[in-house]
Amino acid sequence: MDFPILKTKVEGLDRKFNLSDPKEREEYFEAKAGPEIKRMKEHLDKGKTFIAYFLGKKNSGKGTYSKLFMEAVGKEKVAHISIGDVVRKINEEILESEEKKQELIKFLEKNYRGYISIDEALKILLSRDTRTLLPTEFILALVKKETMDMGKKSLFIDGFPRGLDQISYSLFFRDLINYREDPDVFVLIDVPEAVIDERIKYRRVCPKCKTPRNLKLFTTQKVDYDGTTKEFHLICDNPECDGARMVAKEGDELGIEPIRERLELDEKLIKRAFSLHGIPKVLLRNSIPENVAKEYVDDYEITPEYVYEWDAIADEVKVSEKPWTIKDDNNETAYSLLAPPVTVSLIKQLVNALDI
C-alpha cells in the first residue's frame, strides 16, 4: 500500500505562516487550498453531505484533522463523531440519570437489532471493560441516536470500523442513519510508528487542569530545570494552576509497546479498507522523506522539535527549535508534518473524491 507524498508548496508563495495562530491558519488554508475550500463550501451550502470514515493508527491525529477541516470550511454543516466519545457520553448519562437510562432503553427497543439482549449490552457498556468490545449492532444504534438531534450534516466518523468484521458494516452505515443518498469515503492515514512512539513517550499532563503537552513536540511558555535529576520540566501555561509542573502519565515511558497489538490491528484495518472496491479513498501521509522535503513542503510546515539547554550564568532554560526527524516504517529518514498541511491534502483529495 503506497501513500503518495504530500505536496503543499505553492510556487511564488514566499510568506511564512504561523500555524499555531488561528487567524494566520485561516490565511494559510486560503493560500494553499482556496479554490477547493470554495468548492466545498458551495457544495455544503447546497445541502449536500457526505460520510467520511477515518482509519488510522491510535494517536494518528484523526480528531485533529477533522477539527481543522471544519475550521477551514465551516463547522455549521460538518460534524465529527468519535465512537469512543459517544460511548463515554452515554455511559455517563445513564449513570447519572435513571430518566436518561430509560430514554435510552426505549430508543434501543425500537432501533437495536442484535444477538445479545439490551440488558447484556448495557452491562458491557457500564462495566467499561476495555477487553470486551460492544457488539457492532449496539454501537450503530448508539451512533444513530447521536445523529438524530444533530440535523443532517456531513460526518467524519472516528473509531468505526474498529474490527475487520466491521468493514462491511460501514458500507451500509449511511442507510442506518437515514443518509441514503450520501456518498461515503474512506480516509486512510499513514503515520510512522516512530511518530506515535515519541508522541506517547514525551507526553506531559498538568496534574491540576489536565491540559496535555509534549516535552519534545509541544512546549509551554516556561520550562524548569532540575539540577539534581538533570531533567527539564514543562510548566503549565494556565495561570489558575500556579506554575504546576507537568508530569508524565504512568506507562508513557514505554511508548507504543503496550498498544502494539492495537497498532497491528489498525494496520490490518487500513489494508482491508484500501482493498475495497467501489468506495473512494483519501490517502493522508503524515511524514515526508527528508531528501524531497524542500521540493514538496515549506519549512514551517515541518513539525519542530524543541531542544532545551540550561544556561547556568543566566539562570534560565534556553529553548531552541530544529526540524523533527524520525525513521519512517521503511527505516528512511523523514520529517513529520504539522497537522495543517495534512489537512490541506485532506481538503484537496476529498473535493476530488466527491467529484465536487
Helix (H, G, I), strand (E, B), or coil: what is residue 53?
A: strand
Q: State mean pLDDT over 313-322.
A: 95
pLDDT value of position 128: 62
Q: Which CATH number fits the domain that encloses residue 310?
A: 3.40.50
- For residues 181 and 314, the model is more confident at 314
Average pLDDT, the chain: 90
**158 domain-assigned:** yes
Q: State mean pLDDT over 294-317.
A: 96
- Residue 132 has which C-alpha cell? 470486551
Give the burial string for 240-275 (b: 16+ CB within 10 Å, else e).
ebeebebeeeeebeebbeebeeebebbbebbeebee
- Among 131, 140, 167, 135, CA closest to 269: 167
**65 domain-assigned:** yes
Q: State mean pLDDT over 186-191.
A: 94
* Overall pTM surpassing 0.85 (yes/no): yes
pLDDT at 64 over 60: yes
- Chain-centre distance for alpha carbon 6: 18
pLDDT value of position 180: 62
Task: Tell me how far apart the alpha carbons of residues 346 and 242 are, in angstroms, rounded to a whole number.
Answer: 40
Tell me how many domains the chain contains: 1
Q: Kindly report each contact of residues 28-32 with a partner whose C-beta sits within 8 Å and lies 24 or more positions away, as own/partner.
A: 28/340, 29/71, 29/72, 29/340, 29/343, 29/344, 29/347, 32/8, 32/341, 32/344
Q: State mean pLDDT over 199-203.
A: 95
First CA to last CA distance, the chain: 26
Q: Where are the beta strands (DSSP E) in 21-149?
A: 51-55, 78-82
Three state DSSP letters for 293-349: HHHHCCHHHECEEEEEEEECCCCEEEEEEEECEEECCCCCEEEEECHHHHHHHHHHH
| Helix axis angle, 83-96 to 98-111, nearest 10° | 130
**196 domain-assigned:** yes
Q: How confident is the model at residue 127 (pLDDT cuts 50, 70, 90)?
A: confident
- Among 228, 53, 256, 45, CA closest to 156: 53
**116 domain-assigned:** no
Locate cell 480528531: which residue? Answer: 63
**86 domain-assigned:** no
| Pairing label, strands 333-336, 287-289 | antiparallel
**93 domain-assigned:** no
Render pLDDT for 77-111 as a digit per residue (tens, 0 to 9). Answer: 999 988 888 888 888 888 888 998 999 999 999 98
**311 domain-assigned:** yes
Range of the domain at 241: 22-77+153-353
Q: State mean pLDDT over 31-43.
A: 97
**104 domain-assigned:** no
Q: State mean pLDDT over 314-318.
A: 94
Render pLDDT for 234-253 as a digit per residue (tens, 0 to 9). Answer: 999 999 999 999 999 999 99
